[in-house]
Amino acid sequence: MTFGRYTDSFKSKEKLDFWNESEKLFTNKQYFDAYVTFFKYLGDDEMNNLSFTRQDDSIIFQFFQGSKLITGSINDNKITAESHIADYEKLAVAFMRRLMETNYSLYYTRFALRDSSIYLKFNSSVLDGSPRKLYYALRELATRSDKQDDTLVNDFPVLKKADVHIIELPDSEKEIKYKYFQKWIGDTIKRASELNDETFSGAISYLLLDVIYKIDYLIMPQGMTTNDLEKIHYAYFARDNKPFPAKNKDMRDAFQKLLDKPKENVMADIYGVKSTFGVANPAPHQAVIDVFNNNLGNVKWYIENKYDDLAVNIYEYIAGFCQFSYGLPKPDIRLFDLLLNITVQDYYNEMGLPEKYYDWEAKKFDESGISLIKNKIDVIIKDGNELFPDLKFDTTKLKFDSLLNFLRSYLAEIQNLNFNT
């Protein structure tokens, strides 16, 4: 079982070779060979997210992005691709205005109407359709269509969802995810209410932001629930000169609305999907180091003043913010996953992952858990050496005398990782 948003950052050497070959073929005017190689680059073999067929100078392709299926063709010196967004019975000024306004913000694609349906479309000539342009165009088409089908239907009741492709999850799994959705939000609101809004405004911010990223990464809701979480995140980081206590109040109010949301509405957004493009932009390990530098110094005061739970939340926040904001190298992703597996071990265990890295009843690491952690890190680093041969993690520097000392030493080693290729 894997968690977190899909990312297409830092592909394997084989995939990168496909990309380089595609650009070379296109430069040599072997256009259709270039596109075949491009689709080999784009496909995720484990996810089975993309398929295509070629007949002479014609290619038919399709791929998934969240709940949407994008279909397209390349022939007669033209490239076309589209996604079926929504259906309507009659035209309405309100949603048509939204489509026109959104078109101005798009670089490669546009909304179009056909047969009482809304489509997001991309067109290009083959001569102007280099692999690089095609990548960014299809990415815009895919990510925008996956988001717009939910927001448009939610904002305009006259519209109906169309062409939805999801993977239904077992009811037992959905119940666990809903349970922790409620628990994490409820516990966070309660803990925040116990702190002084002014004196502890920073701690409250960490608490509330941490729960956004924990839900996003571990529960992986889709649809409007994801949109609601993203709105909370973006509102907090907006440069609007609003004081932090006021931002915290806005976040608490928004979380209370999520907590009060009917169960069936939340459960309807808990499903699996296939994706082709990551939503977060690729970022090097330096981005992680910058997040560490901006936040790790804030932990010390909470530890010295015996607010251990708030210190743990800051460590979780750092891992969650990086996962939410960036398309990271896979070793970073897996190391942050291990951190969360320790701090919210109960969730992982209920989801069927049995490893017990930390004894939460005794509040200590035992020999079994220490061995599991070191072995897990060794596997992560070994797998990462395919792309990053200088990657090393010194597990002898980890401190296991307390959870907080472990987290501090663990992030220190992550900070020192060498991702040179």
CA 267 to chain centre: 19
- Give the pLDDT band of residue 284 (cuts 50, 70, 90): confident
Q: Where are the alpha helices (DSSP H) in 215-243?
A: 223-237
Average model confidence (pLDDT) for the chain?
94
87 forms beta bridges with 117, 160
What contacts 212, CB < 8 A, 6 or more positions away?
Answer: 229, 232, 233, 320, 324
110 forms beta bridges with 121
pLDDT digits (tens, 9 = 90+) for 203-242: 999 999 999 999 999 999 999 999 999 999 999 999 998 9
Class for the domain spanning 13-161: alpha beta
**pLDDT beyond 90 at 1:** no
Domain extents in the chain: 13-161, 168-262, 280-421
Name the DSSP letter for residue 217. Answer: I
CA 269 to chain centre: 15
Quote the pLDDT of residue 45.
Answer: 86
Quote the pLDDT of residue 23.
Answer: 97
pTM for this entry: 0.93
Return the number of other C-beta atoms located less than 10 Å from residue 215's C-beta. Answer: 22
- Dihedral, CA of residue 84, residue 86, residue 87 and residue 88, to nearest 10: -140
Contact 357, 345 (CB under 8 A): yes
Quote the pLDDT of residue 29.
Answer: 95
- Give the pLDDT band of residue 404 (cuts 50, 70, 90): very high
pLDDT digits (tens, 9 = 90+) for 327-339: 999 999 999 999 9
C-alpha 241/C-alpha 247 separation (Å) is 10
pLDDT digits (tens, 9 = 90+) for 94-111: 999 999 999 999 999 999
Contact 144, 48 (CB under 8 A): no
3-class secondary structure per residue, 103-148: HCCCCCEEEEEECCEEEEEEEEECCCCCHHHHHHHHHHHHHHHHHH
**Percent of the chain at pLDDT above 70?**
100
**Percent of the chain at pLDDT above 90?**
90
Average pLDDT over residues 411-417: 94
